[in-house]
Structure 1
Amino acid sequence: PAPPLGESTVDEPKPVMIELNLQYRGGGLDGAVARVEELWQLVGATGHPVVVAEQYMAGELTHQQIQNITTADSAGGDWPKRAIFRIWPDFQVHRQIDASGATVKALPAQRSFAAYGAGIVWAVVDSGIDGSHPHFLADHTLDDPSVADLHRDFVSGSEDPAQALVDDDGHGTHVAGIVAGGLQRWKKDDPERRALAVEKRKNNGAVGGNDPILVPRSVDVELLNGIAPLAKLVSLKVLSEFGDLTARTARVMAALAYVRQVNAAAGKLPRIHGVNISLGYDFLADWFGCGQSPLCLEVNRLVLSGVVVVVAAGNSGYVTLNASQSDVTRFSAAITINDPGNAENAITVGSTHRDAPHTNGISFFSSRGPTGDGRPKPDLVAPGERIMSAAGGQHLKDIQRAQFPGYSAAAYIEDSGTSMAAPHVSGAIAAFLSVQREYVGKPDEVKRIFMSSATSLNRTRDFQGAGLVDLMRALQTP
Structure 2
Amino acid sequence: MNGRPAPAGRRLAAAAVTTTALASVVFTAVPANAASGLGYDATGDKGSLNNIAQVVGAQAAYAAGYTGKGVGVALIDTGVSPVPGLTSGNVVNGPDLSFDSQDPSTAHVDGFGHGTHLASIIAGRDVAGTPASYLDPSRYTGVAPDANLVNVKVGASNGDVDVSQVIAAIDWVVQHRKDEALNIRVINLSYGTDSVQSSMVDPLAYAVENAWRNGIVVVAAGGNEGDTTTNLANPASDPHVLAVGAMDSAGTDSTTDDTVPSWSTDGTDQRHVDLTAPGVSVLGLRVPGGTADSEHPQARVGDRFARASGTSMAAAVVSGEAALLFQAKPDLTPDQVKQILTGSANGLNNVSTLLEGAGTTDLRKALKAVPKTVVDPAPWGTGTGSLEAARGNFHVVVGDATTGETTLSGEVDVFGQAWDAGTWAKLSKDRKAWHDGDWRGATLTAKGWKDVGGGRKAWVTASWSTPGTAVADGDWSARMWRDGTWSARMWRDSMWSARMWRGGFTSAGWF
TM-score (norm 1): 0.61
Identify the residue that residue 324 of structure 2 maps to in structure 1: 431
Question: In the aligned structure 2, how far is the partner of 1:162 from the partner of 1:305?
Answer: 34
The amino acid that maps onto 2:108 is: L
Q: CA deviation at 1:339?
A: 0.9
Q: CA deviation at 1:159?
A: 9.7
Q: CA deviation at 1:460?
A: 2.3
- Cα distance change on mapping 1:291 and 1:104 into 2, 3 Å: farther
Identify the residue that residue 134 of structure 1 maps to in structure 2: 84
- Cα distance change on mapping 1:477 and 1:288 into 2, 3 Å: same
3-state SS of paired residue (2:256)? helix
Q: CA deviation at 1:381?
A: 0.2
Larger radius of gyration: 1
The amino acid that maps onto 1:430 is: A
* Selected match of 1:316 from 222, 225, 229: 225
Identify the residue that residue 256 of structure 2 maps to in structure 1: 358
- Are the counterparts in 2 of residues 184 and 222 from structure 1 also a CA contact under 8 Å? no
Question: In the aligned structure 2, how far is the partner of 1:447 from the partner of 1:159?
Answer: 38
Identify the residue that residue 185 of structure 2 maps to in structure 1: 273
- Cα distance change on mapping 1:162 and 1:222 into 2, 3 Å: farther
- Are the counterparts in 2 of residues 169 and 241 from structure 1 also a CA contact under 8 Å? yes
Query: Matches of residues 438-457 of structure 1 in structure 2 within 5 Å?
Result: 438-439=331-332, 442-457=333-348
Identify the residue that residue 227 of structure 1 maps to in structure 2: 143
- Cα distance change on mapping 1:358 and 1:292 into 2, 3 Å: farther
Identify the residue that residue 243 of structure 2 maps to in structure 1: 348
Question: In the aligned structure 2, how far is the partner of 1:221 from the partner of 1:162?
Answer: 35
- Are the counterparts in 2 of residues 378 and 462 from structure 1 also a CA contact under 8 Å? yes
* Selected match of 2:174 from 257, 260, 271: 260
Q: CA deviation at 1:105?
A: 1.1
Give the structure with the larger helix fraction. 1
**Higher-RCO chain (CA-CA 8 Å, sequence separation at least 6):** 2
* Selected match of 1:384 from 271, 275, 279: 279
- Are the counterparts in 1 of residues 78 and 112 from structure 2 also a CA contact under 8 Å? yes
Question: In the aligned structure 1, how far is the partner of 2:80 from the partner of 2:296?
Answer: 17
3-state SS of paired residue (2:74)? strand
Aligned length: 321
Structure 1 segments unaligned to the other structure (5+ residues): 1-70, 80-92, 143-147, 187-219, 320-332
Query: Matches of residues 81-92 of structure 1 in structure 2 within 5 Å?
Result: none
Question: In the aligned structure 2, how far is the partner of 1:221 from the partner of 1:368?
Answer: 34
The amino acid that maps onto 1:419 is: S
- Are the counterparts in 2 of residues 153 and 163 from structure 1 also a CA contact under 8 Å? no
Question: In the aligned structure 1, how far is the partner of 2:201 from the partner of 2:169?
Answer: 19
Deviation string for 1:276-316 (max 9, x for gaps)? Answer: 0011123x3xx312564211121111101111100000001
- Cα distance change on mapping 1:352 and 1:338 into 2, 3 Å: same
Identify the residue that residue 476 of structure 1 maps to in structure 2: 368
Quick one: percent identity of the two aligned structures? 30
Residue 358 of structure 2 is aligned to residue 460 of structure 1: no
* Selected match of 1:250 from 147, 150, 164: 164
Q: CA deviation at 1:171?
A: 0.3
Question: In the aligned structure 1, how far is the partner of 2:118 from the partner of 2:321?
Answer: 14
* Selected match of 1:302 from 196, 202, 211: 211
- Cα distance change on mapping 1:358 and 1:228 into 2, 3 Å: same
The amino acid that maps onto 1:369 is: G
Question: In the aligned structure 1, how far is the partner of 2:137 from the partner of 2:224?
Answer: 30
* Selected match of 2:74 from 107, 123, 136: 123
Identify the residue that residue 58 of structure 2 maps to in structure 1: 106
Question: In the aligned structure 1, how far is the partner of 2:144 from the partner of 2:312?
Answer: 17
Deviation string for 1:250-274 (max 9, x for gaps)? Answer: 11100000011113778xx873111
RMSD across aligned C-alpha pairs, in angstroms? 3.3
Identify the residue that residue 115 of structure 2 maps to in structure 1: 172
